[in-house]
Structure 1
Amino acid sequence: MKRFSKSWAYQGCHAPLVVLAIAAVAGFAHPAKAYTFNTNPDWDIELDTNLSYTLGTRVQPMNKDIANNPIQQNNEYKFPHSGSIISNRVDVASELSATYQNNYGFDVSVDGWKDFAYNGGVAKGPYPESLASSSPNGHYGAYTLNNYNVGGELVNAFAFANMQFGNVPVSVKVGRFTEYWGNALFSGFQAISYGQSPIDIIKAVDAPGTEVKDLFMPRGQVSVHIQATPDFTIGLQYQFEFRPNRFPEGGTYLGVADAFFNGPTTLEGAYKRGSDYRAPDNDGSFGIEALYSPAALNGTVGLYFRQFDDPSAYSPAEFNFTNMTYHLAYARHVRLYGISLDKNIGTVATDFEASVRTNTGLNTVPLVADPAVDLLGHDGARGDTLNVVANGIQALTPTPFWQTGQIVGEIAWTHLLAVTHNRALYNAVGYACSPGGYSAGQGMVNGCSTPDEVNINLLFDPQWLQVFPGVDIDAPIDVNAGIHGNGQTLALGGTGDQAGSVAYSVGVHALIRQLYNIKLSYSGWHSPTAKKVLSPFGQYMYSGGSGEYMWNDKGNLELVFSTAF
Structure 2
Amino acid sequence: GSDLVGFGAKSFLLGNTNAVVPGSPLGCGLAPCDALTNVRRGNDLEPHNSGDWGVMAKWSPAWLDGTLGVYYRETSEILPQAWLDARGISSANPNGTRPAGQVPAVVNTLNSLSTATYQLAYADNIKIAGLSLSKDVGGISVGSDLNIRHNMPLASIPAIVSTNSPLGLGQGLGLLPARTASTGVIYDTPSRGDSMSATGDTLHWTLNGLMTIPKMPVFDSATVLAELYYSNLLQLDDKNEALYKGKGTYRGIDQPTRDNWGLAVNFTPTWYQVFPGVDLNAPMSVNVGLDGVSPVTGGGAKDTGNYAVGLGAVVYNKYFVDLKYVDSFGQTDKCNTSGVSTGPTGGDGSTPNAFSGNENYACYAGGYSSFSGGGATTEDRGAVYLTMKTTF
**Percent of aligned pairs with the same amino acid:** 27
Rounded Cα–Cα distance in structure 2 between residues aligned with 1:525 and 1:561: 23
Which aligned pairs between 1:22-33 and structure 2 lie closer than 5 A?
Answer: none
SS at match of 2:63: coil
Partner of 2:332: 529
Matches within 5 A, 1:460-539: 460-491=267-298, 497-533=300-336
Q: Identify the residue that residue 19 of structure 1 maps to in structure 2.
A: none
**In the alignment, which of 397, 401, 407 is matched to residue 218 of structure 2?**
401
Aligned counterpart, 2:52: 285
- Equivalent position SS for 2:322: strand
Deviations 1:305-331 (A, max 9, x none): 111222321x23443525522111122
Using the TM superposition, give the Cα deviation of residue 243 of structure 1 relative to its aligned residue in structure 2, in angstroms: 1.4
- Supply the distance in 1 between the matched residues of 2:205 and 2:214 (Cα, whole angstroms): 30
Which residue is 1:243 aligned to?
A: 17
Separation (CA, whole Å) in 1 of partners of 2:326 and 2:118: 33
SS in 1 for 2:377: helix
Deviation sequence 1:39-87 (CA, Å, 0-9, x none): xxxxxxxxxxxxxxxxxxxxxxxxxxxxxxxxxxxxxxxxxxxxxxxxx
Partners of 1:276 and 1:325 in 2: CA distance: 10
Structure 2 distance, partners of 1:420, 1:543, is 26
Task: Assess if the C-alpha contact under 8 Å between 1:318 and 1:329 holds in 2.
Answer: no
2:239 equivalent in structure 1? 422
Q: 1:245 to 1:230 in 2, by over 3 A?
A: farther
Partners of 1:321 and 1:375 within 8 A in 2: no
Of 369, 373, 380 in structure 2, the residue corresponding to residue 547 of structure 1 is 373
Corresponding residue to 2:145 among 353, 357, 360: 353
The alpha-carbon deviation at position 513 of structure 1 amounts to: 1.0
Provide Cα deviations, 1:193-240, integer angstroms capped at 9, x if missing partner.
Answer: xxxxxxxxxxxxxxxxxxxxxxxxxxxxxxxxxxxx960111122222
Q: What are the residue-to-residue correspondences of 1:80-91 with 2, within 5 Å?
A: none
Task: Assess if the C-alpha contact under 8 Å between 1:520 and 1:559 holds in 2.
Answer: yes
Q: 2:159, 2:243 within 8 Å by CA — same for their partners in 1?
A: no
> C-alpha displacement at 1:502, in angstroms?
2.1
- What is residue 181 of structure 2 aligned with on the other side? none
For CA contacts below 8 A with separation 6 or more, give which structure has more relative contact order. 1
1:560 aligns with 2:387: yes
Q: Tell me, yes or no, if the aligned pair for 2:308 and 2:327 is still in contact at 8 Å.
A: yes
Instruction: Name the residue aligned to 1:257.
Output: 33
- Give 1:420 shift: 1.2
1:76-475 equivalent positions in 2, closer than 5 A: 231-240=4-13, 241-244=15-18, 249-259=25-35, 267-269=36-38, 271-282=39-50, 284-313=51-80, 315-319=81-85, 321-322=87-88, 324-371=116-163, 373-377=186-190, 378=194, 379-429=196-246, 431=247, 434-435=248-249, 439=250, 442-443=251-252, 445=253, 447-475=254-282
Structure 1 CA distance for aligned equivalents of residues 378 and 224 of structure 2: 27
Contact between 1:484 and 1:499, CA under 8 Å: does it hold in 2?
yes
Distance 1:525 1:352 in 2: 26
CA RMSD of aligned residues (A): 2.5
Equivalent pair of 1:333/1:359 in contact (CA under 8 Å): yes
Structure 1 residue 534: Cα displacement:
5.9
Give the Å deviation of 1:258. 2.6
Q: Compared with structure 1, are the counterparts of its residues 428 and 252 closer, same or farther at alpha carbon in structure 2 (3 Å cutoff)?
A: closer
Post-superposition offset of 1:375? 4.1
In 1: Cα distance, 2:30 partner to 2:127 partner: 32
Q: 1:277 to 1:342 in 2, by over 3 A?
A: same
TM-superposition CA deviations, 1:460-515 (whole Å, max 9, x none): 10111111111011101010101111121233xxxx70111120000010011112
Task: Look up the SS of the partner of 2:121 in the other structure.
Answer: coil
CA distance in 1, matches of 2:27, 2:160: 23
CA gap of 1:560–1:293, structure 2 versus 1, over 3 A, is same
The answer for the alignment partner of 2:174 in structure 1 is none
2:244 and 2:331 map into 1 onto residues whose CA distance is: 18
Match of 2:214, SS?
A: coil
Post-superposition CA distance 1:427-465 (Å, at most 9, x none): 323x2xx23xxx4xx13x1x2221101111000101111
CA contact (8 A) 2:335 2:365 kept: no
CA distance in 1, matches of 2:289, 2:218: 30
Task: Quote the offset at 1:335 in angstroms.
Answer: 0.8
Structure 1 residues 458 and 359, CA gap change in structure 2 (3 angstroms):
same
Larger C-alpha radius of gyration, 1 or 2?
A: 2
- Residue 533 of structure 1 aligns to a residue whose secondary structure is coil
| Displacement after TM superposition at 1:253 (Å) | 2.0
Q: Is the 8 A contact 1:347 1:394 kept in 2?
A: yes
CA distance in 1, matches of 2:120, 2:49: 17
Structure 1's 275 and 415: CA in aligned 2 closer, same or farther, altered over 3 A? same
Q: Which amino acid aligns with 1:547?
A: G
Q: Which amino acid aligns with 2:67?
A: T
Cα distance in structure 2, aligned partners of 1:558 and 1:500: 25
- 8 Å CA contact 1:534–1:541 kept in 2: the answer is no
| Equivalent residues of 1:249, 1:256 under 8 A apart | no
Aligned match of 1:80: none
Contact 2:283 2:309 in 1 (8 A): yes
Superposition TM-score, scaled by structure 1 size? 0.52
Kept in 1: contact 2:3–2:59 (CA 8 A):
no
**Counterparts of 2:262 and 2:323 in 1: how far apart (Å)?**
27
Contact kept? 2:85, 2:116, Cα under 8 Å? yes
Q: Report the Cα offset of residue 285 of structure 1.
A: 2.4
How many residue pairs end up in the alignment?
313
Say if 1:388 and 1:413, in contact at 8 Å, map to a contact too: yes
The CA distance in 2 between the partners of 1:462 and 1:557, in whole Å, is: 20
Matched residue type, 1:321: R
Q: Equivalents in 2 of 1:374, 1:249: separation in Å?
A: 30
CA distance in 2 between counterparts of 1:250 and 1:337 reads: 31
2: CA distance between counterparts of 1:458 and 1:346? 19
CA drift at 1:296 = 1.7
- Shift in CA distance, 354/251, structure 1 to aligned 2, threshold 3 Å: closer
Deviation at 1:300, TM superposition (A): 0.2
Q: Distance in 1 between matches of 2:337 and 2:131?
A: 50
